[in-house]
Amino acid sequence: MEHALPAAPTLRTEPSAAERFSRGLALASASGLLLLCLGWELLLTGSWAWALKALPLLPALPGLWRYRMYTFRWVSLLVWVYVTEGLVHASSSLGAQRWLGAAEVALAVLLFVAVTLHIRLRLGAAKASAAASTPASA
């Protein structure tokens, strides 16, 4: 009599449509935030020193593109620096600075929502996969 081995859990290699959407949203908002910060500081204020605030977003882009969970997690923490800075400008500046601050807040909050959604989707899929791979106890 031949004994069948239980099927090994298969690792899902293709992201779901919702994961692709959340990653695309995260990439778009991170890229927009990067361009906004660079354009704002270099073109409007002419300050190279302040343009350095966009640098932490650069290493995030390849990690988001490659679905690196670690990147999604640290971006969800980093984004609050941009929210805070945008809120300061939106509430205390005049003219273009106020609108650029509001745009920075909007892009940063959108980035947070996208990375949080992605993390939740991936953790939910991992939990479902683990539950499906464990044999039911009687």
Pull the structure tokens for residue 125. 């899929």
pLDDT tens, N- to C-terminus, the chain (138 residues): 556 555 544 556 788 999 999 999 999 999 999 999 999 888 887 778 878 889 999 999 999 999 999 999 999 999 999 999 999 999 987 888 899 999 999 999 999 999 999 999 999 988 888 888 777 654
Burial class (CB in 10 A: 0-12, 13-18, 19+), 62: exposed
CA–centroid distance for 68 within its chain: 10
**Residue 107 falls inside a structural domain:** yes
**Residue 111 falls inside a structural domain:** yes
Q: How far apart are CA 90 and CA 96, in angstroms?
A: 9
Q: How far apart are CA 84 and CA 67, in angstroms?
A: 26
Burial class (CB in 10 A: 0-12, 13-18, 19+), 13: exposed
Contact (CB, 8 A) for 100 and 4:
no
Domain that holds residue 109: 18-126
Pull the structure tokens for residue 40. 């704002």
Q: What's the domain count of the chain?
A: 1
pTM, entire model: 0.84
Pull the structure tokens for residue 83. 């929210």
DSSP string, 31-44: HHHHHHHHHIIIII
